[in-house]
Amino acid sequence: MKKFLLFGLLFLFSFIVVVIARAPVGPVWNAVEDDVYQRVSGLQVLRVGGTVWAGNADLRYRAFPPSRLNWEISPAELISGKIAFIAYASGEAHRLDSHGSVSQSETRIEELTGTIGSDFINLVSTNYGLNFSGEVVLSDIGLTTDQRWFTAAEGHADWSGGKIYYDSPHNGQTIFLPPLRADISMADKNLQLRLHNNQAALIDIVLRPNGWAVVEVKARLFDLARIPWPGGSSPEDTVLQFEEKLF
């Protein structure tokens, strides 16, 4: 009788493990869908598939092209109260790889790397009259949030340089720029991206917790692009500044 009970318990345990391991991701997504959409405005989840532990989804964010997201989750980390994951995203002119963790108090994205081609960027930048060439390479980007806003950020992105076409109200203009680097960091509670050439600042972008982005363009950028600009400005001076509400 004891052996029968032991075998029964082992069978029940094995059955539960198999069911959990093969748990489809669809019902889980249905349970959190509204909360995700509320937190990430502009995100569309077109399809989900696979299991909770090894699944995939087709995503789209605003006007950017769709992306296939694949992930793997380590069940062992659940004991410590967090979800550890490996994720890959790819699609037209882009591929991103990362790993990280999610807990009740924070989300961490670590060693985010990948490439973003100009075809991906131009789908949105053309709305602002800009068309780029080349590609952007992301290196060792790390982001941490407290589930409300960023608490830490680091890493950089390198643009290969090349041609930029600017469609002005009167006539179009093509400029050429050398390779540029963007450094990602936190400034107080703001997410900051500084675009520079050989450590000389060209553009500062600050994203505030309230959703407003502030862009400051330095006079040095016009010198580098060989675009005429009224004299009297130091290369460090901000000659253009604008703000836009992103979310």
Q: How far is CA 161 from CA 92, 115, 229, 232, in A?
A: 20, 14, 22, 28
Stated pTM of the model: 0.79
Output the CA torsion 135→137→141→143 (10° steps).
Answer: 20
Q: For residue range 146-162, what is the model confidence (pLDDT) as tens digits?
A: 888 999 999 999 998 88
Q: For residue range 165-221, what is the model confidence (pLDDT) as tens digits?
A: 887 666 778 888 899 999 999 988 999 999 999 889 999 999 999 888 999 988 888
User: What does the block give as tokens for 18?
Assistant: 């198999």
- Write the CB contacts of 60 (distance below 8 Å, at least 6 apart in sequence): 43, 44, 46, 66, 67
